[in-house]
């Protein structure tokens, strides 16, 4: 057995941000050296960034990636490091990992299984490498092996699974076990989704058991390219036990996880051999399971993950876009309240992780002279909230908005846009030569109020040089219950991937409990006590979202059955008949048919709206984003045949 110190790094990279990516890689190498690590695993495609998309087709991106690798090689004196980059070989582009040891390039392992579903489109840019195949490539004047390659370094046999490789049934770990590999390195860019951390742990455990050795998992952290969020999940396992696990959702550019382990030293005749020797380690090898951080043990794990993932995503989106904060139309309802408190949590979590000085350093572009000296002042600096009333707005929502803004420390403005709305009504009435009435023009009169709020809030965003935050949620997106160029206005739509039922549950949790290490926000009681309402019809009509649509829990259930499970209307009707949720709402068959028909009709006619939503953050692998997960035709037959058959 050989005692070595393994390291996995989470890096906050950005596509084609060459200098930043290079510095993060260099910082990880230096930190690993300082901790006397022998072998460091970095995330896949960390040189170029994972989310380059069609830029991977540009020769310049491939050439620059290789050039930066050549600059990094001399920086690896005294350590073995894996560095991920795109590589062009014989007219094909591969997702490759360079093994660099003590200032020398030993060769490249290439990804054998490409991710091509949902967020991922790797087969568009890369070619999958065939198992057991190996060629020679010329890099910097040296002939080195490329392909399905393993390495003999310091008396340890090292092999690779690159992200998706570990997720398939016939994963490379099985073949690596037959080659007597003692350490598997997994450089990944595995996006965050609810519950995915537990899946990764199981894959790591199984991989380490397969080789009866060590397994090192590295990942990205932060909002790399706009939509996907990376939680920085870094783990080290030994023969079925996770012995080290890094913090998730960190605001640092580099998070290093290390562990001293004992590894078998069965020699291989097929591995590429290095003369580099690992250091001597006198500390005992880690054999017991690692402790997870406190919030990971929470009974409200999904609520914790939602709070931390979207807060980090907002932080990175703001700083990487060069925006000077956020502007939000705060209506007093659940959706806008959620977005507002996420900005507060963004600052709270950042200060907990990197301190006020770290926040000031990361967000230096957001203030003119002296940085805010408290979390509350940072929220006031970054978040402007605007309540925009019409004659149909209520004191209830106004007070709810004001109280939430005050509780989180945001700047709060009030605008009365009723005069603007009435001017539009007058203009159109004059053109049509008739008065507009609710009986005849209901939809137009509702929509003009939402659209009438857009110009002023956009203007404030322009003045602030900030991001306008849209507030549409997944349930609204499914049925188009949103006004285009009204409440959909924004540069980013943070909660468009989250259903309304969960958002309401999350706000109640935040009101009563709050995230680990934080405080509840009692002012949310003013939001949570309300029935969701657009407040676009006259108050006497007592408009609510669910009276316009259906109960949100029913809507979300039908959406999952239709979109996730691909069930047709009759199958959904059969599923809902006798379902505990329909029983809870005392819904008979006729009512269920009405709900199913309404969902499919609204779903089919509103794909164009989903196509126009501002980019949303991906937190659920069952979302409706047409650009990353759920594609549907803008024009279709609308399931007319199937819906008629329900009668």
Using the CB atoms, write b or e for 482-506: b if 16+ within 10 Å.
bbbebbbbbbbbbbbbbbbbbbbbb
Q: In what order do the strands lie in the sheet with 383-389?
A: 411-416, 383-389, 326-329, 467-469
Q: For residue 83, count other CB atoms closer than 10 A to its CB.
A: 29
My answer on whether 465 and 371 are in the same domain is: yes
How many Å apart are CA 486 and CA 477, to the nearest integer? 14
Neighbouring residues of 385: CB distance < 8 A, sequence distance ≥ 6: 327, 328, 329, 330, 340, 401, 405, 410, 411, 412, 413
My answer on whether 643 and 564 are in the same domain is: yes
My answer on whether 224 and 360 are in the same domain is: no
Q: Which of 254, 273, 292 is the last residue of a domain?
A: 292
Helix (H, G, I), strand (E, B) or coil at 327: strand
My answer on whether 524 and 447 are in the same domain is: yes
Helix (H, G, I), strand (E, B) or coil at 392: coil
pLDDT, averaged in runs of 10, over the chain (647 residues): 96 98 98 98 98 97 98 98 98 98 97 93 97 95 95 95 96 95 98 96 97 98 97 97 97 98 85 92 88 90 98 98 97 97 98 96 88 94 97 94 98 97 97 96 95 96 97 94 93 95 97 96 96 88 90 96 96 95 94 97 96 94 88 95 92
My answer on whether 346 and 488 are in the same domain is: yes
What's residue 266's pLDDT?
76
Residue labelled with tokens 């990361």: 362
* Domain ranges, residue 578: 550-647
What's residue 221's pLDDT?
98
Using the CB atoms, write b or e for 397-424: b if 16+ within 10 Å.
bbebbbbbbebbbbbbeeeebbebbeeb
Q: How many CA atoms lie within 13 A of 293 on its CB side?
A: 16
Per DSSP, what are the bridge partners of residue 184?
A: 159, 215
Nearest alpha carbon to residue 46 among 76, 73, 26: 26
How many Å apart are CA 192 and CA 361, to the nearest integer? 26
Q: Which two tokens stand for residue 247?
A: 């913090």
How many Å apart are CA 104 and CA 65, to the nearest integer? 17
My answer on whether 358 and 284 are in the same domain is: no
My answer on whether 555 and 539 are in the same domain is: no
* Domain total of the chain: 3
> Residue 600 is part of a domain; what is its CATH number?
1.10.10
How many Å apart are CA 346 and CA 336, to the nearest integer? 15
> Residue 536 is part of a domain; what is its CATH number?
3.40.50.620
Asked if residues 526 and 399 have their Cβ atoms less than 8 Å apart, the reply is yes
- Kindly report the pTM of this predicted structure: 0.96
My answer on whether 344 and 471 are in the same domain is: yes
Q: Which of 292, 325, 342 is the last residue of a domain?
A: 292
My answer on whether 151 and 51 are in the same domain is: yes
Per DSSP, what are the bridge partners of residue 384?
A: 327, 411
What's residue 369's pLDDT?
77
Asked if residues 42 and 81 have their Cβ atoms less than 8 Å apart, the reply is yes
My answer on whether 506 and 409 are in the same domain is: yes
What's residue 235's pLDDT?
98
What's residue 191's pLDDT?
97
CB burial of residue 229 (10 Å; 0-12, 13-18, 19+)? buried
What's residue 269's pLDDT?
77
My answer on whether 502 and 637 are in the same domain is: no
Q: Which of 544, 579, 599 is the last residue of a domain?
A: 544
> Residue 247 is part of a domain; what is its CATH number?
3.60.110.10
Q: Which two tokens stand for residue 202?
A: 């199981």
My answer on whether 524 and 636 are in the same domain is: no
């Amino acid at each position: 057995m050989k005692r070595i110190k393994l390291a996995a790094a989470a890096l906050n990279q950005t596509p084609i941000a060459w200098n930043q990516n290079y510095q993060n890689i260099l910082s990880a190498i230096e930190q690993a050296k300082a901790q006397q690590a022998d072998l460091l695993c970095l995330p896949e495609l960390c040189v170029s960034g994972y989310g380059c998309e069609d830029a991977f087709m540009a020769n310049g991106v491939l050439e620059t990636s290789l050039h930066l690798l050549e600059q990094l090689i001399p920086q690896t004196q005294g350590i073995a490091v894996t560095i991920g980059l795109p590589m062009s070989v014989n007219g094909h582009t591969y997702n490759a990992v360079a093994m660099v040891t003590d200032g020398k390039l030993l060769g490249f392992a290439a990804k054998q299984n490409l991710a091509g579903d949902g967020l991922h489109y790797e087969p568009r840019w890369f070619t999958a490498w065939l198992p057991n195949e190996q060629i020679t490539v010329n890099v910097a004047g040296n002939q080195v092996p490329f392909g399905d390659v393993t390495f003999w370094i310091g008396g340890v046999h090292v092999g690779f699974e690159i992200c998706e490789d570990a997720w398939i049934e016939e994963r490379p770990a099985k073949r690596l076990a037959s080659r007597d590999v003692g350490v598997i390195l997994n450089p990944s860019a595995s996006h965050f989704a609810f519950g995915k951390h537990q899946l990764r742990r199981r894959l790591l455990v199984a991989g380490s058991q397969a080789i009866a050795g060590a397994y090192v998992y590295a990942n990205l952290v932060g909002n790399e390219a706009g939509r996907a969020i990376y939680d920085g999940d870094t783990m080290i396992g030994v023969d079925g036990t996770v012995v080290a696990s890094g913090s998730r959702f960190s605001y640092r550019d580099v998070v290093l996880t290390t562990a001293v382990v004992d590894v078998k030293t069965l020699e291989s005749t097929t591995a590429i051999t290095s003369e580099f020797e690992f250091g001597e380690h006198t500390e005992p090898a880690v054999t017991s399971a690692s402790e997870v951080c406190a919030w990971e043990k929470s009974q409200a794990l999904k609520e914790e993950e939602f709070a931390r993932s979207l807060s980090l995503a907002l932080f990175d989106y703001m700083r990487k876009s060069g925006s000077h904060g956020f502007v939000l139309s705060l209506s007093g309802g659940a959706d806008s309240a959620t977005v507002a408190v996420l900005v507060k949590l963004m600052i709270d979590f950042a200060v907990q992780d990197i301190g006020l000085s770290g926040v000031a350093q990361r967000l230096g572009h957001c203030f003119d002279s002296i940085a805010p000296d408290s979390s509350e002042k940072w929220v006031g600096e970054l978040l402007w909230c605007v309540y925009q009333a019409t004659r149909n707005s209520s004191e209830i929502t106004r007070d709810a908005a004001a109280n939430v803004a005050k509780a989180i420390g945001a700047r709060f403005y009030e605008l009365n846009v009723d005069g603007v709305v009435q001017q539009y009504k007058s203009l159109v009435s004059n053109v049509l030569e008739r008065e507009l009435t609710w009986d005849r023009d209901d939809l137009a009169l509702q929509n003009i109020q939402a659209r009438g709020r857009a110009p002023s809030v956009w203007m404030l965003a322009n003045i602030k040089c900030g991001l306008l935050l849209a507030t549409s949620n997944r349930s609204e997106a499914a049925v188009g219950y949103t006004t285009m160029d009204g409440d959909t206005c924004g540069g980013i739509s943070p909660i468009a991937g989250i259903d309304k039922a969960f958002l309401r549950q999350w706000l109640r949790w935040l009101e009563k409990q709050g995230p680990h290490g934080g405080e509840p926000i009692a002012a949310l009681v003013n939001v949570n006590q309300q029935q969701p309402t657009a407040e676009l019809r006259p108050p006497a009509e007592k408009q609510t979202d669910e009276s316009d649509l259906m109960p949100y829990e029913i809507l979300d259930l039908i959406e999952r059955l239709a979109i996730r499970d691909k069930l047709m209307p009759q199958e959904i009707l059969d599923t809902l008949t006798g379902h505990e949720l329909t029983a809870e709402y005392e819904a008979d068959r006729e009512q269920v048919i009405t709900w199913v028909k309404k969902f499919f009709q609204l779903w089919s006619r509103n794909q164009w709206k989903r196509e126009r939503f501002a980019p949303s953050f991906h937190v659920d692998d069952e979302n409706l984003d047409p650009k990353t997960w759920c594609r549907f035709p803008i024009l279709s037959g609308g399931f007319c045949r199937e819906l008629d058959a329900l009668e």
